[in-house]
Amino acid sequence: MNEQEKPFKHPSFYPGDAVETEHPFSLYISCWILLFVLSAFSYMVDLMEVQGYLRWFLVTIFAFLKAGLVVGVFMHMAWERMAFLYAITLPPLFLLALVGILAVDGAFVYYIRDLFMSLTGS
Amino acid sequence: MSSNQHVSFEDSVPDNLKGLVADWSSDVQTFKVRWSKAMMWIFLVSDTFIFGSFLSAYMAVRLTTTVPWPNTSEVFALHVGGTDVPLLLIAIMTFILISSSGTMAMAVTSGYKKERVKTGVLILLTALGGVAFVGMQVFEWSKLIFEEGIRPWGNEFGAHQFGGFFFMITGFHGLHVSIGVVYLCIVAKRVFEGRYDRLNDYQMVEVAGLYWHFVDLVWIFIFAFFYLW
Protein backbone atom coordinates (compact mmCIF):
# COMPACT_ATOMS: atom_id res chain seq x y z
CA MET A 1 0.00 0.00 0.00
CA ASN A 2 1.60 3.32 -0.96
CA GLU A 3 1.51 6.40 1.20
CA GLN A 4 -1.34 8.15 -0.65
CA GLU A 5 -3.74 5.24 -0.05
CA LYS A 6 -3.31 5.39 3.71
CA PRO A 7 -6.09 7.41 5.34
CA PHE A 8 -4.81 6.73 8.87
CA LYS A 9 -1.57 8.04 10.31
CA HIS A 10 -1.08 5.70 13.27
CA PRO A 11 1.14 2.72 12.21
CA SER A 12 -0.98 0.21 14.12
CA PHE A 13 -3.72 0.67 11.49
CA TYR A 14 -1.38 -1.16 9.10
CA PRO A 15 -0.06 -4.13 11.08
CA GLY A 16 1.39 -5.80 7.99
CA ASP A 17 3.98 -3.13 7.40
CA ALA A 18 4.32 -1.96 10.99
CA VAL A 19 7.94 -1.31 11.84
CA GLU A 20 7.52 -1.81 15.57
CA THR A 21 6.95 -5.56 15.18
CA GLU A 22 10.57 -6.02 14.13
CA HIS A 23 12.90 -6.76 16.99
CA PRO A 24 16.56 -7.70 17.12
CA PHE A 25 17.47 -11.36 17.70
CA SER A 26 19.19 -10.29 20.93
CA LEU A 27 15.79 -9.53 22.48
CA TYR A 28 14.58 -13.07 21.81
CA ILE A 29 17.84 -14.60 22.97
CA SER A 30 17.68 -12.73 26.30
CA CYS A 31 14.05 -13.82 26.68
CA TRP A 32 15.11 -17.39 25.86
CA ILE A 33 17.89 -17.32 28.49
CA LEU A 34 15.48 -15.88 31.05
CA LEU A 35 13.04 -18.73 30.32
CA PHE A 36 15.84 -21.26 30.87
CA VAL A 37 16.81 -19.65 34.16
CA LEU A 38 13.19 -19.64 35.38
CA SER A 39 12.75 -23.29 34.28
CA ALA A 40 15.94 -24.15 36.15
CA PHE A 41 14.53 -22.43 39.24
CA SER A 42 11.32 -24.49 39.06
CA TYR A 43 13.40 -27.64 38.61
CA MET A 44 15.53 -26.64 41.62
CA VAL A 45 12.37 -26.42 43.74
CA ASP A 46 11.89 -30.13 43.08
CA LEU A 47 15.56 -31.09 43.44
CA MET A 48 15.90 -29.28 46.77
CA GLU A 49 12.65 -30.90 47.92
CA VAL A 50 10.98 -27.68 49.00
CA GLN A 51 7.56 -28.76 50.30
CA GLY A 52 4.21 -27.30 51.32
CA TYR A 53 2.95 -23.81 50.60
CA LEU A 54 6.41 -22.46 49.67
CA ARG A 55 6.70 -25.12 46.93
CA TRP A 56 3.27 -24.31 45.50
CA PHE A 57 3.92 -20.58 45.68
CA LEU A 58 7.32 -20.81 43.94
CA VAL A 59 6.13 -23.23 41.24
CA THR A 60 3.12 -21.02 40.44
CA ILE A 61 5.12 -17.79 40.44
CA PHE A 62 7.78 -19.20 38.09
CA ALA A 63 5.08 -20.61 35.76
CA PHE A 64 3.27 -17.28 35.49
CA LEU A 65 6.52 -15.35 34.97
CA LYS A 66 7.43 -17.71 32.13
CA ALA A 67 3.91 -17.45 30.68
CA GLY A 68 4.20 -13.64 30.78
CA LEU A 69 7.49 -13.76 28.88
CA VAL A 70 6.14 -16.13 26.23
CA VAL A 71 2.91 -14.20 25.68
CA GLY A 72 4.48 -10.74 25.97
CA VAL A 73 7.70 -11.14 24.01
CA PHE A 74 7.47 -14.27 21.86
CA MET A 75 3.80 -13.75 20.96
CA HIS A 76 4.30 -9.96 20.66
CA MET A 77 1.42 -9.15 22.99
CA ALA A 78 3.51 -6.41 24.62
CA TRP A 79 3.34 -4.43 21.38
CA GLU A 80 -0.32 -4.91 20.53
CA ARG A 81 -2.94 -2.24 21.15
CA MET A 82 -4.69 -2.39 24.50
CA ALA A 83 -8.13 -3.18 23.00
CA PHE A 84 -6.71 -6.38 21.48
CA LEU A 85 -4.57 -7.23 24.51
CA TYR A 86 -7.53 -7.14 26.90
CA ALA A 87 -9.92 -8.93 24.51
CA ILE A 88 -7.50 -11.88 24.45
CA THR A 89 -6.09 -11.96 27.99
CA LEU A 90 -9.15 -11.15 30.11
CA PRO A 91 -11.56 -14.00 29.10
CA PRO A 92 -9.22 -16.78 30.38
CA LEU A 93 -9.43 -15.17 33.82
CA PHE A 94 -12.92 -16.72 34.07
CA LEU A 95 -11.06 -19.98 34.61
CA LEU A 96 -10.15 -18.64 38.06
CA ALA A 97 -13.85 -18.74 38.93
CA LEU A 98 -13.98 -22.38 37.79
CA VAL A 99 -10.90 -23.19 39.87
CA GLY A 100 -12.41 -21.45 42.89
CA ILE A 101 -15.74 -23.29 42.64
CA LEU A 102 -14.05 -26.66 42.08
CA ALA A 103 -11.71 -26.07 45.02
CA VAL A 104 -14.64 -25.51 47.39
CA ASP A 105 -16.50 -28.49 45.96
CA GLY A 106 -13.39 -30.70 46.04
CA ALA A 107 -12.74 -29.90 49.68
CA PHE A 108 -16.36 -30.82 50.52
CA VAL A 109 -16.19 -34.13 48.59
CA TYR A 110 -12.96 -34.97 50.39
CA TYR A 111 -14.61 -34.23 53.74
CA ILE A 112 -17.57 -36.51 52.92
CA ARG A 113 -15.32 -39.31 51.67
CA ASP A 114 -13.09 -39.04 54.70
CA LEU A 115 -16.14 -39.25 56.91
CA PHE A 116 -17.83 -42.27 55.32
CA MET A 117 -14.90 -44.22 53.91
CA SER A 118 -13.29 -44.31 57.37
CA LEU A 119 -16.59 -45.72 58.73
CA THR A 120 -16.69 -48.50 56.15
CA GLY A 121 -12.99 -49.15 56.62
CA SER A 122 -12.00 -48.80 52.97
CA MET B 1 -0.10 23.37 16.75
CA SER B 2 -2.34 26.43 16.78
CA SER B 3 -5.81 26.05 18.20
CA ASN B 4 -7.71 26.83 15.00
CA GLN B 5 -5.84 24.23 12.94
CA HIS B 6 -7.93 21.26 11.79
CA VAL B 7 -7.13 18.02 13.61
CA SER B 8 -8.38 14.92 11.80
CA PHE B 9 -9.84 11.95 13.65
CA GLU B 10 -7.06 9.73 12.34
CA ASP B 11 -4.39 11.94 13.90
CA SER B 12 -6.16 12.06 17.21
CA VAL B 13 -6.45 8.31 17.93
CA PRO B 14 -4.85 7.95 21.34
CA ASP B 15 -2.87 5.06 22.86
CA ASN B 16 -3.17 2.98 26.02
CA LEU B 17 -6.23 3.41 28.26
CA LYS B 18 -7.67 6.26 26.22
CA GLY B 19 -6.97 4.17 23.14
CA LEU B 20 -8.87 1.24 24.65
CA VAL B 21 -11.95 3.42 25.14
CA ALA B 22 -11.58 5.06 21.73
CA ASP B 23 -11.20 1.73 19.91
CA TRP B 24 -14.31 0.23 21.50
CA SER B 25 -16.57 3.28 21.46
CA SER B 26 -16.10 4.69 17.99
CA ASP B 27 -17.94 3.25 15.03
CA VAL B 28 -14.81 1.80 13.43
CA GLN B 29 -12.89 -1.47 13.29
CA THR B 30 -12.01 -2.43 16.87
CA PHE B 31 -8.99 -4.72 16.42
CA LYS B 32 -6.35 -3.12 14.27
CA VAL B 33 -4.69 -6.42 13.39
CA ARG B 34 -5.13 -8.64 10.35
CA TRP B 35 -7.95 -11.17 10.42
CA SER B 36 -5.51 -14.09 10.29
CA LYS B 37 -3.80 -12.97 13.47
CA ALA B 38 -7.06 -12.12 15.25
CA MET B 39 -8.60 -15.49 14.32
CA MET B 40 -5.55 -17.45 15.48
CA TRP B 41 -5.63 -15.59 18.80
CA ILE B 42 -9.34 -16.31 19.23
CA PHE B 43 -8.71 -19.99 18.49
CA LEU B 44 -5.92 -19.96 21.07
CA VAL B 45 -8.27 -18.44 23.67
CA SER B 46 -10.71 -21.31 23.06
CA ASP B 47 -7.83 -23.78 23.37
CA THR B 48 -6.85 -22.09 26.64
CA PHE B 49 -10.30 -22.97 27.95
CA ILE B 50 -9.88 -26.62 26.93
CA PHE B 51 -6.53 -27.00 28.69
CA GLY B 52 -7.74 -24.83 31.57
CA SER B 53 -10.72 -27.15 32.05
CA PHE B 54 -8.46 -30.22 31.95
CA LEU B 55 -6.14 -28.79 34.58
CA SER B 56 -9.06 -27.60 36.74
CA ALA B 57 -10.63 -31.08 36.56
CA TYR B 58 -7.28 -32.56 37.56
CA MET B 59 -7.14 -30.22 40.54
CA ALA B 60 -10.71 -31.11 41.56
CA VAL B 61 -10.05 -34.86 41.42
CA ARG B 62 -6.72 -34.57 43.19
CA LEU B 63 -8.45 -32.64 45.97
CA THR B 64 -11.17 -35.26 46.43
CA THR B 65 -9.07 -38.41 46.56
CA THR B 66 -8.44 -39.80 50.04
CA VAL B 67 -5.58 -41.95 48.73
CA PRO B 68 -2.23 -40.08 48.46
CA TRP B 69 -1.40 -38.75 44.98
CA PRO B 70 1.62 -40.52 43.37
CA ASN B 71 4.94 -38.76 43.99
CA THR B 72 5.81 -37.40 40.55
CA SER B 73 9.55 -37.03 41.27
CA GLU B 74 9.59 -40.80 41.89
CA VAL B 75 7.28 -41.81 39.03
CA PHE B 76 9.12 -39.74 36.42
CA ALA B 77 12.64 -40.35 37.72
CA LEU B 78 15.21 -41.51 35.18
CA HIS B 79 17.87 -44.05 36.16
CA VAL B 80 21.19 -42.52 35.12
CA GLY B 81 24.61 -43.73 36.23
CA GLY B 82 23.39 -45.77 39.19
CA THR B 83 21.17 -43.07 40.71
CA ASP B 84 17.61 -41.93 40.10
CA VAL B 85 17.54 -38.37 38.80
CA PRO B 86 14.04 -36.97 39.37
CA LEU B 87 12.21 -35.48 36.39
CA LEU B 88 15.35 -35.54 34.21
CA LEU B 89 13.49 -36.40 31.01
CA ILE B 90 10.87 -33.73 31.71
CA ALA B 91 13.63 -31.14 32.22
CA ILE B 92 15.17 -32.06 28.85
CA MET B 93 11.75 -31.91 27.17
CA THR B 94 11.15 -28.45 28.68
CA PHE B 95 14.57 -27.35 27.43
CA ILE B 96 13.81 -28.54 23.90
CA LEU B 97 10.36 -26.95 23.74
CA ILE B 98 11.59 -23.57 25.01
CA SER B 99 14.46 -23.70 22.50
CA SER B 100 12.06 -24.43 19.67
CA SER B 101 9.99 -21.45 20.79
CA GLY B 102 13.13 -19.32 20.58
CA THR B 103 13.93 -20.44 17.04
CA MET B 104 10.29 -19.80 16.06
CA ALA B 105 10.49 -16.22 17.37
CA MET B 106 13.61 -15.74 15.24
CA ALA B 107 11.83 -17.23 12.22
CA VAL B 108 9.04 -14.67 12.64
CA THR B 109 11.56 -11.82 12.81
CA SER B 110 13.39 -13.13 9.73
CA GLY B 111 10.01 -13.32 8.02
CA TYR B 112 9.41 -9.63 8.67
CA LYS B 113 12.78 -8.91 7.06
CA LYS B 114 11.62 -11.12 4.14
CA GLU B 115 14.72 -13.34 4.39
CA ARG B 116 13.32 -16.43 2.69
CA VAL B 117 15.95 -19.12 3.32
CA LYS B 118 16.71 -18.03 6.88
CA THR B 119 12.99 -18.05 7.75
CA GLY B 120 12.48 -21.49 6.21
CA VAL B 121 15.49 -23.04 7.94
CA LEU B 122 14.48 -21.60 11.32
CA ILE B 123 10.93 -22.97 10.91
CA LEU B 124 12.31 -26.41 10.03
CA LEU B 125 14.59 -26.24 13.09
CA THR B 126 11.52 -25.47 15.20
CA ALA B 127 9.66 -28.44 13.69
CA LEU B 128 12.69 -30.62 14.45
CA GLY B 129 12.47 -29.56 18.10
CA GLY B 130 8.81 -30.56 18.05
CA VAL B 131 9.66 -33.98 16.62
CA ALA B 132 12.30 -34.47 19.33
CA PHE B 133 9.77 -33.49 21.98
CA VAL B 134 7.12 -35.94 20.72
CA GLY B 135 9.77 -38.67 20.45
CA MET B 136 10.76 -38.21 24.08
CA GLN B 137 7.10 -38.23 25.04
CA VAL B 138 6.69 -41.60 23.29
CA PHE B 139 9.67 -42.86 25.32
CA GLU B 140 8.15 -41.48 28.53
CA TRP B 141 4.74 -43.03 27.83
CA SER B 142 6.14 -46.47 26.97
CA LYS B 143 8.33 -46.45 30.08
CA LEU B 144 5.29 -45.59 32.21
CA ILE B 145 3.02 -48.14 30.53
CA PHE B 146 5.35 -51.12 30.11
CA GLU B 147 7.82 -50.73 32.98
CA GLU B 148 5.85 -49.02 35.73
CA GLY B 149 2.46 -50.47 34.80
CA ILE B 150 0.57 -47.17 34.97
CA ARG B 151 -2.91 -47.46 33.43
CA PRO B 152 -5.71 -44.89 33.05
CA TRP B 153 -7.68 -46.88 35.63
CA GLY B 154 -4.97 -47.59 38.18
CA ASN B 155 -1.33 -47.78 39.25
CA GLU B 156 0.88 -48.95 42.12
CA PHE B 157 2.05 -45.51 43.25
CA GLY B 158 -1.14 -44.08 44.75
CA ALA B 159 -4.46 -42.61 43.64
CA HIS B 160 -5.91 -44.50 40.68
CA GLN B 161 -7.04 -41.35 38.85
CA PHE B 162 -3.40 -40.36 38.26
CA GLY B 163 -3.02 -42.35 35.03
CA GLY B 164 -6.24 -41.07 33.48
CA PHE B 165 -5.28 -37.45 33.95
CA PHE B 166 -1.68 -37.99 32.95
CA PHE B 167 -2.55 -39.66 29.65
CA MET B 168 -5.37 -37.25 28.85
CA ILE B 169 -3.48 -34.00 29.56
CA THR B 170 -0.04 -34.90 28.18
CA GLY B 171 -1.68 -36.80 25.30
CA PHE B 172 -3.74 -33.80 24.27
CA HIS B 173 -0.66 -31.59 24.51
CA GLY B 174 1.39 -34.09 22.50
CA LEU B 175 -1.34 -34.07 19.86
CA HIS B 176 -1.02 -30.28 19.68
CA VAL B 177 2.75 -30.58 19.22
CA SER B 178 2.30 -33.20 16.48
CA ILE B 179 -0.26 -31.08 14.62
CA GLY B 180 2.08 -28.11 15.08
CA VAL B 181 4.93 -30.01 13.42
CA VAL B 182 2.75 -30.76 10.39
CA TYR B 183 1.55 -27.14 10.32
CA LEU B 184 5.13 -25.80 10.51
CA CYS B 185 6.27 -28.14 7.72
CA ILE B 186 3.48 -26.82 5.47
CA VAL B 187 4.45 -23.21 6.27
CA ALA B 188 8.15 -24.00 5.69
CA LYS B 189 7.29 -25.55 2.31
CA ARG B 190 5.41 -22.41 1.33
CA VAL B 191 8.29 -20.21 2.48
CA PHE B 192 10.80 -22.17 0.36
CA GLU B 193 8.46 -22.14 -2.63
CA GLY B 194 8.46 -18.35 -2.43
CA ARG B 195 4.71 -17.99 -1.91
CA TYR B 196 5.14 -15.30 0.75
CA ASP B 197 7.68 -13.47 -1.41
CA ARG B 198 5.13 -13.32 -4.23
CA LEU B 199 2.54 -11.98 -1.80
CA ASN B 200 5.24 -9.72 -0.31
CA ASP B 201 3.78 -10.69 3.06
CA TYR B 202 5.13 -13.07 5.74
CA GLN B 203 2.17 -12.65 8.10
CA MET B 204 1.36 -16.40 7.95
CA VAL B 205 4.74 -17.17 9.53
CA GLU B 206 3.80 -15.01 12.50
CA VAL B 207 0.39 -16.73 12.77
CA ALA B 208 2.06 -20.17 12.77
CA GLY B 209 4.46 -18.80 15.38
CA LEU B 210 1.55 -17.83 17.63
CA TYR B 211 0.30 -21.43 17.56
CA TRP B 212 3.75 -22.82 18.33
CA HIS B 213 4.35 -20.42 21.24
CA PHE B 214 0.96 -21.42 22.62
CA VAL B 215 2.03 -25.07 22.67
CA ASP B 216 5.06 -23.98 24.70
CA LEU B 217 2.81 -21.91 26.96
CA VAL B 218 0.57 -24.90 27.73
CA TRP B 219 3.63 -27.01 28.52
CA ILE B 220 4.79 -24.41 31.08
CA PHE B 221 1.55 -24.94 33.02
CA ILE B 222 1.55 -28.73 32.63
CA PHE B 223 5.15 -28.80 33.86
CA ALA B 224 4.25 -26.64 36.86
CA PHE B 225 0.91 -28.10 37.89
CA PHE B 226 1.22 -31.76 36.89
CA TYR B 227 4.90 -32.56 37.31
CA LEU B 228 6.02 -30.18 40.06
CA TRP B 229 2.93 -29.33 42.12
B161-184: per-residue pLDDT in tens?
Answer: 999 999 999 999 999 999 999 999
| Whether residues A77 and A97 fall in one domain | no
Interface contact A10, partner B, CB < 8 A: yes
Q: B127 versus A46: which is more confidently predicted?
A: B127
| Whether residues A20 and A51 fall in one domain | yes
| Whether residues A66 and A9 fall in one domain | yes
Residue A1 CB neighbours (<10 A): 8
Q: What is the pLDDT of residue B119?
A: 95
| Whether residues A57 and A34 fall in one domain | yes
Q: What is the pLDDT of residue B33?
A: 83
Q: Which residues of A touch B106 (CB under 8 A)?
A: 25, 28
Residue B189 predicted with pLDDT over 70: yes
Q: Within 13 Å, how many C-alpha atoms sit on residue A7's CB side?
A: 3
Q: Which of A37, A43, A51, A89 is the best substitution to test chain B (most B C-beta atoms within 10 A)?
A: A43
Q: What are the Cα distances from residue B5, in Å, to A9, B27, B210?
A: 17, 24, 43
B120-124 long-range contacts (CB < 8 A, ≥24 apart) are B120/B188, B120/B191, B120/B192, B123/B184, B123/B187, B123/B188, B123/B191, B123/B205, B123/B208, B124/B184, B124/B185, B124/B188
- Mind listing the pLDDT tens digit for each residue in A61-91? 999 999 999 999 999 998 888 889 999 999 9
**How many independent structural domains does chain A possess?**
2
| Whether residues A40 and A8 fall in one domain | yes
* Cβ <8 Å between A95 and B24: no
* Cβ <8 Å between A80 and B33: yes
Residue B160 CB neighbours (<10 A): 15
Question: How many Cβ pairs within 8 Å bridge chains A and B?
Answer: 172
| Whether residues A26 and A70 fall in one domain | yes
- pLDDT, average across residues B89-112: 93
* Cβ <8 Å between A10 and B48: no
Q: What is the pLDDT of residue A20?
A: 47
Nearest CA distance, B146 vs chain A (angstrom): 26
| Whether residues A95 and A74 fall in one domain | no
| Whether residues A56 and A109 fall in one domain | no
CATH node for B34-228: 1.20.120.80
- pLDDT, average across residues B80-87: 78
Fill in the amino acid letter for B18: K
- pTM listed for this prediction: 0.86
Q: What is the pLDDT of residue B175?
A: 97
- Rounded CA-CA distance B229/B222 in Å is 10
| Whether residues A102 and A64 fall in one domain | no
- Mind listing the pLDDT tens digit for each residue in A33-49? 999 999 999 999 988 88
Contacts of B184 (CB under 8 A, 6+ apart): B123, B124, B126, B127, B130, B208, B212
Residue B227 CB neighbours (<10 A): 23
Q: Which domain holds residue A121?
A: 90-122
Q: What is the pLDDT of residue B4?
A: 58
- pLDDT, average across residues A26-38: 93
Q: Which residues of A touch B209 (CB under 8 A)?
A: 74-75
Domain definitions of chain B by residue range: 34-228
- Percent of chain B residues past pLDDT 70, beyond the cut: 93
Q: Given pLDDT bands bounded at 50, 70 and 90, which one contains residue B5?
A: low
| Whether residues A75 and A95 fall in one domain | no
| Whether residues A41 and A98 fall in one domain | no
Q: Which residues of B touch A37 (CB under 8 A)?
A: none
β-pairing, B78-80 vs B83-85, is: antiparallel
| Whether residues A12 and A45 fall in one domain | yes
Alpha helices in chain B (DSSP H): 16-25, 35-64, 72-75, 88-112, 116-142, 161-193, 195-199, 203-222
Q: What are the Cα distances from residue A67, in Å, to A82, A86, B23, B92, B184?
A: 18, 16, 27, 19, 22
- Which H/E stretch holds residue B80? strand B78-80
Residue B199's closest chain A neighbor by CA? A16
